[in-house]
């Protein structure tokens, strides 16, 4: 975890935000005392594509259509 002074953080904020976007955590200090942390936003963290594909494949295995076709299900849902 990187520590950086408040005045330096103000000067280098764009660079710090790039680091945080890559998953790093940065502590901002004032006179050597920690006062804030820059952390990645939880919603901004994307799953790895391979992991997302695997999760979708696993999800599909648990779906049962009970003999119905996808077309029949689509037609059934129309008004």
Judge contact between 5 and 30, C-beta under 8 A: yes
What's residue 18's pLDDT? Answer: 93
Angstrom distance (rounded) from CA 53 to CA 55: 5
pLDDT of 79: 64
Question: pLDDT tens for residues 20-72?
Answer: 988 899 999 999 999 999 999 887 666 788 988 998 899 888 877 778 888 88
How far is the C-alpha of 78 from the C-alpha of 75, rounded, in Å?
5
pLDDT of residue 45: 64
Reference 20, options 12, 11, 30; nearest CA is: 12
pTM: 0.54
- Its CATH architecture, for the domain 2-43, is 3-Layer(aba) Sandwich (3.40)
Q: What is the pLDDT of residue 60?
A: 83
Domain extents for the chain? 2-43, 45-76
């Amino acid at each position: 975890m990187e520590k950086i002074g408040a005045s330096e953080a103000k000067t280098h904020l764009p660079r710090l935000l790039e680091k945080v976007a890559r998953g790093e955590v940065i502590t901002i200090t004032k006179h050597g005392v920690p006062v804030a942390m820059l952390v990645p936003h939880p919603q901004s963290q994307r799953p790895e594509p391979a992991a997302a594909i695997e999760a979708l494949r696993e999800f599909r295995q648990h779906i049962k259509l009970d003999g119905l076709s996808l077309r029949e299900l689509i037609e059934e849902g129309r008004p």
